Amino acid sequence: MHQPIQRTLDLSRVVASRQALQSVPAPLAKRLSILPVMVSAEGELHVVMANEEDDLALSQLEAQVALPVRVDRATNPEKIPSLLRRYYPERNRGEGTPLGVLEEIVNRAILYRSSDIHLDPESQAGVVRMRIDGLMRQERTMTQDALNELTSAIKVSSGLDIAEKRVPQDGQLTMTLHGEEISMRVATVPTLYGEKTTLRILATESVAAELASLDALGMSDRHHEIFQTTLGYSHGVILLSGPTGSGKTTTLYAALRHLKEPGTLHILSIEDPVEIPLDGINQIRVDSERVSFARALRSTLRHDPDVIMIGEIRDAETADIAVKSALTGHLVLSTLHANDSVGVVSRLLNLGVAPELVNSALRLVIAQRLVRKPCPHCMRWKNAEPSERLLFGWPTGEEIPIPVPLGCPLCHETGYAGRLGLYEMIPMDNTLREMIRLGESEEKMARYAFEKLHLPTLRNDGADKIRQGKTTLAEVQRVAFQMEW
């Protein structure tokens, strides 16, 4: 008899547990199109099926596994065949060879939606770590000899000098796994115990598809309106700030997709490197050692673009050309290293851009951070404590439910699955332009923006998303509480 459906799972946000995968032989899982997901605390095997009504397939599974089976519904069952190929990969290379081990590690990283793979030599062994949802997690250990062999295989595949182990090297590696092309930036650096290798996984097709629109970024309605309105300007500069790994590039790509939809604009991007290929946009890859952003930008202007995206403004020359480009009828989008939104203005001025040019060209400054989302399968609600209310200025006379991450096999006991953005946006108005002209302090500009105009700070945005169950108090404290005015 068909088991009752337990819950609904988004397969893009679930990582099947090893215990569940080991409970079902690969040939059986693939033949029945059934993906094992987790083994519950009660000892039940939870699975998702390509066809939930296939009682015969379910009966065959129950007859061949030692655990009671429960069926969960998948919101995207079409992903089951490709996930089965990833979770039960065919061994195309010799098992245990360096390239085979690399494929296994990268495959696992894709399933975890990891952004980076770190191969770290330590005193006793080599350690493989992955950055998942912004935080590091140890994946496995291996002998130093095995790590050295793996490092050599990566260097050969990415065109690095295998004999040179005393200086840092950078390269790029592309591999095809289960029909999907995976591109990675490779960096090596000598350490006390040997070479450390970091692989930055550039966005895969599946991840890029999920972030194809502004709606997928997690902006509030107000921030979405501000951003979309500014993207409609024919000229000006939009600048994003935030630390490495805060999602700035993802926001820029979503903006480019939004701008290219009508098909009436000529859009160019200058990037180092090009992280996601986008049809309909001319993407230019620069090598900072040979061709600077400034030189590429100067050349780009000869091609009459309507919109220019610059991966990062790193120097005074690039900043000056970007601002002047905006004044000659181009919409310019870029990133700039600053601690917060108003800090972007100071950073432009510190780079030597004249205040009158900043006044005329700057349209919008944005600070952004990424926070983890609570796992929907184990999240619980509790009433905020008095101390927690005080942190966000929440009223004391009413119950305020906030989410608590507990941890379950579906999120590998972390309590979190996926991330979304926190935003702080300041559109330029005449008062702010006058403050820039007069050389007013960041604090005064911030007080005007956040107190008089009532624009949401990162903390405000985080507080709203906590109450909506989109993130947790601990996450907002982790990324947004350094920014006070």
Query: How confident is the model at residue 450, as a pLDDT?
Result: 96
Of the two residues 292 and 191, the one the predictor is more confident about is 191
Name which of 161, 160, 204, 162 is nearest 186 in CA terms: 160
482 — pLDDT class (breaks 50, 70, 90): low
Of the two residues 105 and 279, the one the predictor is more confident about is 105
Sign of the torsion formed by the C-alpha atoms of 103, 107, 112 and 116: positive
Is the link from the previous residue into 68 a cis peptide, with omega within 30 of 0? Answer: no
- Asked if residue 99 has pLDDT above 50, the reply is yes
Classify residue 432 as exposed, middle or buried by CB count within 10 Å of its CB (0-12, 13-18, 19+). Answer: buried
Decide the pairing of beta strands 401-404 and 380-383.
Answer: antiparallel
Distance from C-alpha of 72 to C-alpha of 4, rounded to nearest angstrom: 8
Tokens of 141: 């250990």
Q: Are 342 and 350 in contact (CB under 8 A)?
A: no
To 10 degrees, the CA torsion angle through 414, 16, 178, 117?
Answer: 20
- At a CB cut-off of 8 Å and minimum separation 6, what does 163 contact? none
277 — pLDDT class (breaks 50, 70, 90): confident
Q: What are phi and psi of 87, to 5 degrees?
A: -75, -30
Q: What are phi and psi of 455, to 5 degrees?
A: -75, 140
Name which of 79, 54, 46, 45 is nearest 178 in CA terms: 79
To 10 degrees, the CA torsion angle through 373, 374, 377, 379?
Answer: -160
Average pLDDT, the chain: 90
DSSP 439: T
The pLDDT tens digits for 285-329 are 887 667 778 888 998 999 999 999 999 998 999 999 999 999 999
Predicted TM-score of the model (pTM): 0.83
Query: How confident is the model at residue 5, as a pLDDT?
Result: 55
Query: How confident is the model at residue 94, as a pLDDT?
Result: 57
354 — pLDDT class (breaks 50, 70, 90): very high
Whole-Å CA distances, 407 to 47, 111, 388: 19, 18, 21
What is the percent of the chain where pLDDT is above 90?
64
The pLDDT tens digits for 448-467 are 999 999 999 999 999 999 99
86 — pLDDT class (breaks 50, 70, 90): confident
Distance from C-alpha of 142 to C-alpha of 129, rounded to nearest angstrom: 11
Count the Cβ atoms, other than its own, within 10 Å of residue 264.
8
Only one residue has tokens 């107190």, namely: 451
Distance from C-alpha of 82 to C-alpha of 204, rounded to nearest angstrom: 14
Name which of 84, 101, 82, 83 is nearest 92 in CA terms: 101
- Asked if residue 3 has pLDDT above 80, the reply is no
Q: Where are the alpha helices (DSSP H) in 355-429?
A: 355-361, 386-392
What is the percent of the chain where pLDDT is above 70?
94
The pLDDT tens digits for 19-67 are 899 999 999 999 999 999 999 888 999 999 998 888 899 899 999 998 9
Classify residue 263 as exposed, middle or buried by CB count within 10 Å of its CB (0-12, 13-18, 19+). Answer: exposed
The pLDDT tens digits for 382-391 are 999 999 998 8
Where are the strands (E) in 250-361, listed by range? Answer: 267-271, 282-285, 307-310, 331-335
Tokens of 179: 């029909």
What is the per-residue DSSP string for 84-101? HHHHS----S-TTSHHHH
Q: Are 162 and 155 in contact (CB under 8 A)?
A: yes
List, in sequence order, every residue forming a beta bridge with 188; answer none if it has no partner: 169, 197
Distance from C-alpha of 480 to C-alpha of 388, rounded to nearest angstrom: 15
Sign of the torsion formed by the C-alpha atoms of 60, 66, 70 and 74: negative
Distance from C-alpha of 199 to C-alpha of 28, rounded to nearest angstrom: 34
Q: What are phi and psi of 405, to 5 degrees?
A: -80, 130
